[in-house]
Amino acid sequence: MAASTAPPIKRIYEPVADSDGKRILVDRLWPRGVTKHDAHLDEWLKDVAPSPDLRRWFNHDVAHWAEFQRRYRAELEAGSPALEQLLELAAQPPVTLVYAAHDETHNHARVLAAFVGEALKERTRHSHG
């Protein structure tokens, strides 16, 4: 049975929990100050993160948030092998998307999790209809 809700997101600096399940880093750059050992990651899917150009344009500026979401969703809708891999992993929870951004409200992981949840719902609807 495929998951039909968005996977949870968590800052990489928060303590690891058993409930995290598979931990997938969804940042293009490795988080500062975190060792690979301390990260407890199962996967690092750099290519699901916003493109370097989009990341630089957004620059964590809340004034760009709405437009950033639109542009990032357009990148995700174009599809990629990394996104397919993420969808396959997320279809078998528990899975947690891990990110490093300080802003817990305005970050790409939140947009990505919602996109993944919607894509999984769509796939579930099509496989049962």
Q: Is the previous residue joined to 15 through a cis bond, with omega within 30 degrees of 0?
A: no
Is the pLDDT score of 127 beyond 90? Answer: no
- What gap in Å lies between CA 121 and CA 55, rounded to an integer? 27
Mean pLDDT on 109-119: 98
Tokens matching residue 98: 């891990």
**C-alpha distances in angstroms, 106 versus 17, 24, 36, 100, 111?**
23, 19, 25, 12, 9
Per-residue pLDDT reduced to its tens digit, 8-54: 999 999 999 999 999 999 999 999 999 999 999 999 999 999 999 99
Is the pLDDT score of 2 beyond 50? Answer: no
Confidence of residue 4 (pLDDT cuts 50, 70, 90): low
DSSP 4-32: -SPPPEEETTSPP-GGG-EEEE--SSPPT
What is the pTM assigned to this prediction? 0.94
Give the per-residue pLDDT at 1: 44
Share of the chain above pLDDT 90, in %: 91
